[in-house]
Structure 1
């Protein structure tokens, strides 16, 4: 190894350390694990030769991840990385430092070295605490020629409303006037409005307080002709106001191919999206709460949109129980993919049952009017959903019907289920999914009796009799309550007469479940920094470790 050139070692080390993983198809970054943070220090501690190579490789130190831990540790770590990375472009991921959020001087001192190197920023994610000194923090950020991705997020919200007073106007700051490479911007700091030209921007994500005061979005859209994806979060509280005279001019977004809308749009506002001209829009993503808000737009984009995603808003559990309206999708004549994502209580409400009845029934009942997109519909995808059995039967029948038609030369069909839970009313009824079990990835089936069906596992003799596997979680609950599993009229007689004691005796011993320690951003940082500092202060050995 001593004969290998230094440049090869540098390439190998850079590959081993890696760059922060993208969490979006563009450039937003996710935090590294402890192993990722320690990687350059461990490489430098192998031997003196490797240490010299690591110190010469600025790329290894060009990622700064700041967690909410002791300020002295943060300052030491930041100074070390800024020094060793020389003039290499920086990737920065910073937490909101909730423990010092009320002390603006301490908070500013932690971020000041990072802010002073804004001209080196490449991909940056800053999470600000509420009431942070934005003007003081961001004033030096006027020139960022290497910047490709910028994410501003407000954390540590301590009120029922979003950041700032209801009568407080957002502070406008021209901080991106010299960022010619910027293609990704996510602004979720509600008290700062960025006013600048962004004609190269391709991805924009914005949180709004209300459409009357947050005019940043409308100005930005008028200056982003190359925008490909637009993501908008409406506030999750009532009482917002809308200005009917605000959206009077049509804005053209000729390159936009994906639009995402989340939250609770104003009830008294004409959809502003109706003023957008989106000739290439292919994918529409919306939360359940905004489905009705977007309904008038479907007719306008009926020939363009091919993929619709309906999701839930995790920050507001009430959103799980909102109604789905399949009829609003009827206008999308080119729709070929429908994806339901993160929706619990699916089919719990009668109205949501009619969603599937309308969605699926039109394909099998010739007397009913089929949706406009029925002829080209190819993909139905469920992700992280909880589905009750009244939908299970319809889905299984629907999939079998479409696949049979495809085998006979009809329209190809793709049905995918990922990480879902299906709740049946009787133990035997999950057997209905046996013909389509290959579609279910990491999904589980539960019934009121202690039978659970795990796709992808071989059934033993008893399981073949009942068409189900034991659910450890459900069994544990039954044992603790002393309940007897409910029998089914259609089960064999010997199964129907099983007593609770016999059932309990036939169960495998349950191992005690150990609770995993709570892991949050602060605990991760506190666990990382002492190890990191010990590694920094360690002396490299004189003998290389075999590779």
Structure 2
């Protein structure tokens, strides 16, 4: 009897599952490395499994590194799409050429997610009659905001729930079924356009707004009496920009905040929003924020159970309040983050006394402080630029090892950059 390697004795469905992890979430066409074609070349059995497993062909990326004027590449794309069978498709299209779009449009009824860069200098590549019944997620970037364009191809998308729009210019518009969306990310979009869209999205659960690098004017007049209530919105991400948009929100269900480079004016508006909404956020993540602004947010929300702080990897010499020690001193107070259960500090630019940190963690872990929750998880990573040596890291770890052995989720490390 011929010897059969164990890997070839696996049931086809198990082998196909292993193949899906190798292929990953997306394969470039033409493939540069990996992908189902590589697996199909190994042996006859693997080839049969690859060619019969539609999911291996259903997630693809297309970009300008391929010459789409060559017929052989278009033929490869056509056959690749056919291999996906009836499986839903996830497409990532990042190119200027419109040659592949007629082929892709043939399969529009099976698009599940679509991410693409729209070249506004050429006609929109999908016909208005395109049917996108299965489309759940749409991500559109328009690199040239100065060319007028109106996108109507996705207004009839009954399954659409998640939309990401980037770099929408003042003379550009996209017609979408906003009323059914639960996730919306707006990036480099004017204040007026942002509000116009949000007025049509009463079912939002997650909203991300980033106007920090907007190239378009956001100084249009917006009625100060405009008010929008989002009863289901539980997660808000906001980056530096026109924080006046917060003046128009009421978010009674808000649970998670993600703030990037927030300034004093933005923090003040956020706190007013919290009072107006009577919300009690449970989680907050702050990125690249001044320590004082971060602490104001923390103090304003005593309901916070999870806090994440991401500092600048390379920070100038910090002032007295911008040290890890100052945060630890605040955590020793009962009225500062009393509900805190998880804390993660990344790229910390300053060091701290091992005994001071250990005392705070012991105090928070044992839960003997009335009205203060037990701190169950604490992750701390020092920035490479902080100049903290291995011996200092080892000393910190040694001090807090008893807490780790007692069950606390405790990580202390140094980032490699």
**Pairwise same-fold verdict (TM > 0.5):** yes
Seen in structure 2, the aligned counterparts of structure 1 residues 326 and 141 have a Cα distance that, compared at 3 Å, is farther
> What is the match of residue 361 of structure 1?
329
Asked if 1:287 is matched to 2:289, the reply is no
Instruction: Evaluate the alpha carbon distance shift between residue 79 and residue 144 of structure 1 in structure 2; reply closer, same or farther with a 3 A threshold.
Output: same
Greater relative contact order (Cα < 8 A, sep 6+) = 1
> What is the DSSP-based 3-state SS (H/G/I as helix, E as strand, rest coil) of the residue aligned with 2:56?
helix
Gaps of 5+ in 2: 5-9, 405-409
How far does the alpha carbon of each residue in 1:178-208 deviate from its partner, in whole angstroms, 9 at most, with x for none? 2111122111142443223233322111113
Aligned pair 1:416/2:378, yes or no? yes
1:122 has 2:112 as partner: yes
The alpha-carbon distance between structure 1 residues 435 and 299, as it changes in their structure 2 partners (threshold 3 A), is farther
Match of 1:16 in 2: 18
Q: Deviations over 1:26-75 (max 9, x none)?
A: xxx6667979852255237622x664564444333323222422333642
Question: Deviation per CA, 1:421-459, whole angstroms, max 9, x where unpaired?
Answer: 3625799755652313663355259xxxxxxxxxxxxxx
| Corresponding residue for residue 280 of structure 2 | 304
Secondary structure at 1:18's aligned position in 2? helix
Partner of 1:223 in structure 2? 200
Q: Is 1:376 equivalent to 2:354 in the alignment? A: no
* Kept after mapping to 2: 8 A contact 1:199/1:223: yes
Following superposition, the deviation at residue 405 of structure 1 comes to 4.9
Structure 1 runs not aligned, ≥5 long: 3-7, 23-28, 102-106, 156-162, 313-319, 446-472, 474-547
Matches within 5 A, 1:341-490: 341=310, 343-345=312-314, 348-350=317-319, 353=322, 357=326, 359-364=327-332, 371=335, 373-383=336-346, 385-389=347-351, 392-393=352-353, 397-407=356-366, 409-410=368-369, 411-417=373-379, 420-421=382-383, 423-424=386-387, 430=393, 433=396, 434-436=398-400, 439-440=410-411, 442-443=413-414
In structure 2, how many angstroms separate the alpha carbons of the residues matched to 1:435 and 1:30? Answer: 45
Structure 1 segment 165-176 matched on structure 2, within 5 A: 165=146, 171-176=149-154
Deviation at 1:82, TM superposition (A): 1.9
Residue from 63, 66, 69 that aligns with 2:66:
69
Shift of 1:417: 2.6
Classify 1:124/1:145 alpha carbon distance in 2 versus 1 (closer, same or farther; 3 Å): same
Rounded to whole Å, the distance in 1 between the matches of 2:391 and 2:89 is 58
> How far has the Cα of 1:210 moved from its partner?
2.2
In the alignment, which residue of structure 2 is the partner of 1:329? Answer: 298
Cα distance in 2, alignment partners of residues 340 and 354 from structure 1: 13
The correspondence for 2:160, drawn from 168, 178, 182, is 182
| Structure-2 residue corresponding to 1:208 | 188
1:108 matched to 2:67? The reply is no
Matched-pair contact (CA < 8 Å) for 2:263–2:293: no
- 3-state secondary structure, aligned to 1:179: coil
Equivalent in the alignment of 2:7: none
Alpha-carbon distance in structure 1 between the residues aligned to 2:48 and 2:342: 54
**Aligned residue in 2 for 1:476:** none
Q: Which structure would you say has the larger Rg?
A: 1
Which residue of 7, 31, 39 corresponds with 1:42? 39
Do the aligned partners of 1:346 and 1:388 also contact (CA within 8 Å) in 2? Answer: no
**Residue 118 of structure 2 contacts residue 124 of structure 2 at CA under 8 Å; is this kept in 1?**
no
Q: Give the Cα–Cα distance (whole angstroms) in 2 for the partners of residues 330 and 347 of structure 1.
A: 26
1:415 Cα deviation (Å)? 4.6
> What is the Cα-based RMSD across aligned positions, in Å?
3.9
Give the TM-score of the pair, scaled to structure 2. Answer: 0.77
Measure how far apart 1:328 and its partner are. 4.0
How far apart are the structure 1 equivalents of 2:390 and 2:17?
51
Task: Tell me, in whole angstroms, the C-alpha distance in 2 between the residues paired with 1:417 and 1:278.
Answer: 30
Q: Which residue of 2 aligns with 1:164?
A: 145
Q: What secondary structure, in the 3-state scheme, does the structure 2 residue paired with 1:151 have? A: strand
Q: Distance in 2 between matches of 1:441 and 1:354?
A: 16
- SS at 1:178 equivalent: coil
For 1:509-520, list aligned pairs within 5 A.
Answer: none
Per-residue CA distance 1:201-234 (angstroms, 9 max, x = gap): 221111134213xx2x323323333321111111
